[in-house]
Amino acid sequence: MDNENVELLKKKKKAKKRKILIVIIICLIVAAGIGLYFYFFNNKQTNIETRKKEVKSEYEMSGNQLSEFDLAFLKLENQNKNKVYSPLSIKYALEMLSEGADKDTKAQIDAVIGKYAARKYQNSSNMSFANALFVKDSYKDNINKEYTSKLKTKYDAEVINDSFKTATNVNKWVKNKTLGLIDSLYSDADDLSDLDFMLINALAIDMNWVKNIQADTKHFNDQYSIHYDHEDYSAYIPVLGETDYGTIKFNNKTMNAKAVEFGATLNNYDIVKELGEDTIRKTVKNEYNKWVAQKECGEDYDYEDADVYLDKYMKEINANYGQVATSTDFYEYHNEDLKVFAKDLKQYNGVTLQYVGIMPIKETLKTYIENLKAEDLTETIGNLKQIKSENYASGKIIQIKGSTPVFQYNDDLDLMNDLKKIGIKDVFDSQKANLSKITTDKKAFISDAKHKATIEFSNEGIKAAAVTAMGGRGAAGCVFDYLYDVPVETIDLTFENPYMYLIRDKETGEIWFTGTVYEPTVNTNKDATILNK
């Protein structure tokens, strides 16, 4: 091989080695890049997980069911006065806020949110859910597009630009999204000029009961009037007119309250089995023969043969056993400490909401709330009984009677201070807040949190709304009857003292509204809930 070919071969070998070296270097660089990526990614994830582990909250939600969070605001604002708020609305606002927070700010929010996941609901004329991000015109370039895109996709939120010179547009949106139940979020006197954005959730319900609590003039055939043949028992609730609500003495008889009545009777007394048919026939026959002998209906009256009369009597008295009569559909639970009354609203958009009223007997409502745990309340709700014979004691007639006030009022929470007390603090601190996923403005923080709500509880149903922004026997002729005294157990479910209530999703246990009634009132003023900057 000549020298020229040798040199050419050497050059080829060197070129090949260089290529191999370059490939190796590239591979090392790529490997290093991948390693660094996973290092920083894992480190970031580790930091996030570490923060989650470090930040613990006694109010952490394990899902959508009843939790300590739902009761937190009752406890924090336990002031012996009417209270209403929507845990669901606050949760929606916190979830949206969490999407825009980072680091310790997010960790504090997520420590409370836990495994909660907001459920999407379908809007209708009876149920409204809405989310929005209102952004000041001069601030819109600071809002991250990824955040607004997530709000739109995940929460069906509207992103609305506004001058914030007046509250007109915000209030119009609130009124529209709360079925007109909340007229406004801000008054004309409120100054919005310092706000750059508002993160708002609004929800409202306008729902009827499956059946009115008390029969009214439009539902006269639903009147509750019970009489058992030949047994000395009767029960009656009058028809409710347009204005003639009954009244009860409320709060240790310190005030009169308009109220609706409800009741039920379960005939669990098998009188024929208890007394024996032969004994009944003998007793009634003797009394019937005495009546006939006295000619109570006159000499010419066609008196029925005693045995014929007794056959009908036995058939009728036998028919009493097992009868269940209710004035309306409801559930109840009672013991020496509590009265609980629950009633379903009609199903709307596949959702059935249930009202649950709970009145402590031995202790004040304030003390009851102070000591109340979510698990105890869940157990109480689980003890609710349908009005069925098998759910009650045998050998007696069970009579359930009660009244519950009708009421309408508005309320608001000191939400910012309440959230601070349950551990969500940094988001309200201008020096610590991290809202980097919402805005490029590093100094952004939540300067206020408001929650205003309204509720109306009536014979026909419930209307409620909240906005959270981070910003009711006649006898004739001559007859004989022999009435037996029967054992009766009366269950009094009258709500005559302060009580708390929940409005919950029967399927998931999600709490939509909760509150207290200390003074049943009728109030036509309506208000609105908010987190903002």
Is the model's pLDDT at 477 over the cut of 80?
no
> What percent of the chain is predicted at pLDDT more than 90?
64
Tell me what pLDDT residue 189 has. Answer: 63
Say which residue the tokens 């596949």 belong to. 350
Over residues 484-509, the pLDDT tens digits come to: 999 999 999 999 999 999 999 999 99
Q: What is the mean pLDDT of residues 73-101?
A: 94
User: How do strand 127-136 and strand 158-162 relate by DSSP bridges?
Assistant: parallel
Distance from C-alpha of 208 to C-alpha of 456, rounded to nearest angstrom = 11
Is the model's pLDDT at 41 over the cut of 50?
no
pTM, two decimal places: 0.85
Distance from C-alpha of 257 to C-alpha of 273, rounded to nearest angstrom = 44
Residues paired with residue 499 on neighbouring β-strands, in sequence order: 517
User: How do strand 488-492 and strand 397-405 relate by DSSP bridges?
Assistant: parallel
Residue 295: pLDDT band (50, 70, 90) is confident
Helix 145-155 and helix 87-100, axial crossing angle in degrees, nearest 10: 150
Q: Which two tokens stand for residue 515?
A: 């509150």
> What percent of the chain is predicted at pLDDT more than 70?
85
Distance from C-alpha of 385 to C-alpha of 333, rounded to nearest angstrom = 6
Q: What is the mean pLDDT of residues 443-457?
A: 89
Residue 237 CB: number of other CB atoms within 10 A? 22
Tell me what pLDDT residue 39 has. Answer: 44
Distance from C-alpha of 458 to C-alpha of 129, rounded to nearest angstrom = 22
Is the model's pLDDT at 44 over the cut of 80?
no
**Domain boundaries defined on the chain:** 217-407+474-517
CATH architecture for the domain at 217-407+474-517: Roll (2.30)
Q: Which span out of 19-23, 163-167, 369-373 was modeled with the highest average pLDDT?
A: 369-373
Residue 117: pLDDT band (50, 70, 90) is confident
Tell me what pLDDT residue 499 has. Answer: 97
Long-range pairs, 361-364, Cβ under 8 A, ≥24: 361/336, 361/337, 362/336, 362/337, 363/337, 364/498
Low-confidence winner among 21-35, 73-87, 485-499, 506-520 (lowest mean pLDDT)? 21-35
User: At 398, is the secondary structure helix, strand, or coil?
Assistant: strand
Identify the helix (H) or strand (E) that includes residue 356. Answer: strand 353-360
Q: What is the largest CA-CA distance in the chain?
A: 157
Could you give the C-alpha distances from 493 to 263, 331, 334, 399, 405, in angstroms and in order? 9, 11, 8, 10, 12
Do 226 and 265 meet the contact criterion of CB atoms below 8 Å apart? yes
